[in-house]
Every structure is written in C-alpha cells, then in structure tokens.
Amino acid sequence: MPEQQNQQQEQEQDGAPETYEYIVVGAGTAGCVLARRLSEDRTHRVLLLEAGRPVPAEPDPVPAPAAWPSLLGTAADWGDTTVPQNTGGAPIPWPRGRGLGGSSAIGGMTFLRGHRSGCDAWPEGGAKGWGYDDLLPYFKRSENVTGVRRRDPASRGTDGPLRVAPAARRHRHPLAQAFLAAAVQAGHPRACDLAAGLETGFGWADLAIADGARQDAAGAYLRPVLGERTNMRVITDAFVQRLLLDETGTSPRCTGVAYTVADGTPPEDTPAEDTSAEDSPQHAAPSRTARCSPGGEVVLTAGAVGSPRLLMSSGLGPREHLEDIGITAHLDLPGVGGNLQDHVVSGVVYRSARPVPESENNHAEVQGLIRSDPHATTCTAPDLQLGIADLPVRAGGLPGPGPGAGYTIVVALLSPYSRGTVRLADADPATPPSIDPCYYADHHDLDLMTAGLRAAREIGMAPALTLWRGEEELPGRDIADDEELRAYLRRNLHSAHDYAGTCAIGTDTDAGAVVDTELRVRGVEGLRVADASVMPTIVSANAEATVYAIAERASDLLTH
C-alpha cells in the first residue's frame, strides 16, 4: 500500500523534520477530504497523519456492507467506552474509526444531511455563515447521485467523489418495505428524498454503498489520488502526541506536531531545535516531528474525541482541568472538550413471526424524521429519528430474540438537551481520554425518547407489519406508563456514534467557543479544527454527511 510505503520511508529518515504547507492530523472522513483538496495545488506539500492502519488492514478483504458490526471492537476501532453512566452504572461502548477513512470505514453507511433546521440553528448561536444554505454547495460537492430517481440537482450533487443512493430495488429488505408502508399507515408523510434535508417523514435513506460495496472517505477521496500526488504524504501508525507551539510572538503559533510511529522501538530523542520548553512527562521526546513552512497551518481532523484530546495534551484547554492533571496551560480555552453531544438510541424489539432474511445492505434502509409534538408546526425542527433495523437492538443482558429471529423499530434522539465532556485521564497523551456524554442528564431527553417509543409502537402495530409481527419482547406489552418506559430507556441505551460539539464554532464573546467562523482556534495562529467537533449543536440525523461538507468548506477557507 502507498501509505504503508510512506510510513516506512518516514521511519528510515535521519530524524530531521520536513516542512509542509499543511499538516492534517487524522485520516478519518474530514482528513481524507482535506488531504485530497489541499493537495490539488501541486505547489503545496501536504502531510496526513493517521494513528491507525488502512481499514481493514490488507490483505483482508473489505467486509460486505451488512457485516459492518463485525468491525466494531477490532483494530479498526479505538474501542473507547464512556465513564459509567447514571442510567444504570455501566459504561457504554463508544466505537470510532481508527485507520484510513476513520468512522466512515466502520460505521453504518446511512447518508443523511439531517433536516435543514439543524444547521440553521448554528448562525443563531453565533456561527455566522454556517447555515444550511451556506453549506449546501459543500454538501453537493461531496456527493454523486447521478442516475438516482427523485434527486433534484438544485439540492443534490452529481459529480462529487462519494457515490450515494438508496438501496437498489432488487436488494431492498422486505421488512424495510413493510415498515415504510406501516409508517404511512400510522399517519406519517412519505419523503421522496430524505437525504436532502428538506423533508420530514419516512423514506428510503441514501446509503454510502455502491455496486454492493461500502463507500468510505478513504476509498472515495484519498486512494484514487495516492499514486499521482507526489506533494501529498500519508503516514499511518503515526500517533500525534502534541502540537508544537512558538510562544515568542504576541499569540502562540502552532508550528508543527510531534508524533510517534508504531514500529515497536522506543522514541528517539527529538533534535535540539525541536525540543519543547516543557520538561513534564506529556512533552517527553517523541520519535518524529513535522514542521509547517512559513505561513503553513496544522489542521485537526481527529474527531470530537481526538481533536480536543490533542489540544488539551498540548496545553490548550480548560486551565483548571489541565493543571489538575499536571499539564501547563499555554492558553485557557474553557470550551475545549465541553459541549459533547451524541444521538442516544433505543427502540422497540419484536420477535418476528417469520424468519428475517439476511440484509444485503446496512440493516437500516428506511429512516424517518418526526416531531415529538403532534401539534408542532412545519417550521419546528424534527427531534426524533425512527427507523427499522432487521436485527434486534438490545443491550447485553436483556432478553430477546437473536439475529434472524427479531427486528427493532429504532428510536434516536436528534436534539439532546444533555451535554457531556471529553477530558484527559492523566498527563500521558497515550492514555485513553475520559468520555462522559451524560446521557439523560436532562430530563427532557427521557421525555422525548418516551414519546419516540410510543410513536414506534404505533407504527409497529400497523397492518403492513402484521405478517412480521410476533411478540413485543422489549420493552414488553406490560410496560406502559411513562416511568416504566423511562426505566427501560435507561437499561436499553446505545450510542448512534454521532459524536459532536467539543470544539464548537462561536464568537469572541462566547466563552465556550473554541474556533471562530473560519475554524481557527481562538488565540492560536496557524491552527484550525475541521471535523464534527466544531458543530455548535448536533445535526438532526446521522452526522457523516455533514462532516464531509464541513471538511469541503474548510478546504476553501484554507486556500482562499
């Protein structure tokens, strides 16, 4: 693989740092987009650093789309868990991709922008210029829906790198077809193009699947140009420990990064000119440094966990927290690692009256965006996402059917009131961070999810699902009042893997803002963040499509 060759070449260097116009940290969705776009100008040298390996590592074949759950918990996943939650005391698994393509290479491939109201809330909170209409050209630039029926070129892209489309008619799951009919029977509108972000209701979701294979950011953006872009270097197995800061000016300037390579050898001494002013353990000499050329920039694309982790490990974050764990705070940025948001997931699990066929797609072909308040106006943002999963979705220890014997009407909370944190566990940058999403910390979230369960049950009892419907296994027919449903929601809790908000866009008057409207880290020159962490509030559907758009826009901000 070219990226593995680049890694080997880097390890064979004599230790002298090279210079780049752009150093991109993290080769997930956003990093792959930026590396491709920034390297289009052949006069710019671009370095892309990724802690993981290609996903899955060669020569293993890429799993079929329906096998994506098998990637969770493997080397392709950071394998994080939350701190114990107040929903029952147990930690919650928090998968996130580790390797080229990041979470786009291990996730569920649902490609929805979310309702436009989600992005339109950002300018109202201070992220001027980041509304839906502002992002529309970048949504379009990332995708290719050529040949897909009912896709309006005014709102959908036709020449982007990523091919997306609903499940092909001949491969649609019969249970998904029955669910869509049941949702309409229950009174919900049918959506023609749910992925465009302009409709509510139920419809076939666009999927990042083409010709029966997963489409991830590495395959769409990065690998097609690896062989031809001599100005772009990709190094895998490269764990960035800290940012290099020059504090001789009026404001700190990020001049590069220090990183280790996973070759099994102890870190080398950093050349004298690259030594940090700090002698504390988190600044111990790494094996390699990479420097920006004059006027160059470092861009963090490590996601809502990785980007704040690196900022804090480098002394950029909440002063009190950093000093508590022994890191010198170079700049007090209280918002770093705060404002953490995620879509919490639960659902109604049924035992099927007939065998459930194996999926040829992603197990979740039909989705719906609804408003919990039946009297809400059409201007009100949808706050719940309901979908069909052709397998049981239940936490470990809960009873119920196994694969092939059950299905779930999934409920996801789109606009959580609760906010969590990402914090460092100690001063060692290699120690996994402490992740606390604070699920259900705000009682409004449980109220909304309870309304979602009731809506799911109504769809589940519609005539179109009669031939499939067996017993309601979870929460169970006898669980009816609000308190019982809330107790069930605490037991059967899952993450939708849509982490966001920990380096939020905002204004100078917003103490919680981490980056400005051009994604520049406040108070630091030469440093930006361009991933899901910059979302002030989480979007109202799966986050992946919006991350592509954020990265596409970031490439313009960097080069214009």
> Which residues are documented as binding site?
240
d(CA 221, CA 554): 15
d(CA 465, CA 369): 20
Structure tokens at 67: 């096998």
Closest CA to 337 of 229, 422, 245: 422
For 260-309, give the DSSP string. Answer: EE-SSSPPPPPPGGG--S--SGGG---SEEEEEEEEEEEEE-SHHHHHHH
Q: Give me the residue label for tokens 């991933």.
A: 531
Structure tokens at 517: 């409207």
C-alpha torsion sign, points 85, 87, 89, 95: negative
Q: Give me the residue label for tokens 């959908």.
A: 156
Which helix (H) or strand (E) segment holds residue 447: the answer is helix 443-460
User: 439 vs 63, 89, 327, CA distance in Å?
Assistant: 32, 11, 29
Residues 6+ apart with CB under 8 A from 308: 317, 336, 337, 422, 502, 503, 514, 533
Residues 6+ apart with CB under 8 A from 297: 21, 22, 23, 254, 526, 527, 528, 558
d(CA 76, CA 53): 8
d(CA 450, CA 485): 6
Which helix (H) or strand (E) segment holds residue 452: the answer is helix 443-460
Q: Give me the residue label for tokens 């990709």.
A: 234
The answer to whether the beta carbons of residues 216 and 208 sit under 8 Å apart is yes
Q: Give me the residue label for tokens 């969590």.
A: 420
d(CA 132, CA 321): 35
For strands 201-204 and 366-370, give the pairing: antiparallel
Detail the residues annotated as belonging to a binding site for FAD: 240
Residues 6+ apart with CB under 8 A from 274: 17, 244, 258, 289, 291
Angle at 439 between CA 435 and CA 440, to 5 degrees: 160
Q: Give me the residue label for tokens 């609760």.
A: 418
d(CA 498, CA 501): 10
Hey, is 158 helix, strand or coil? strand
DSSP 365: -
DSSP 219: I
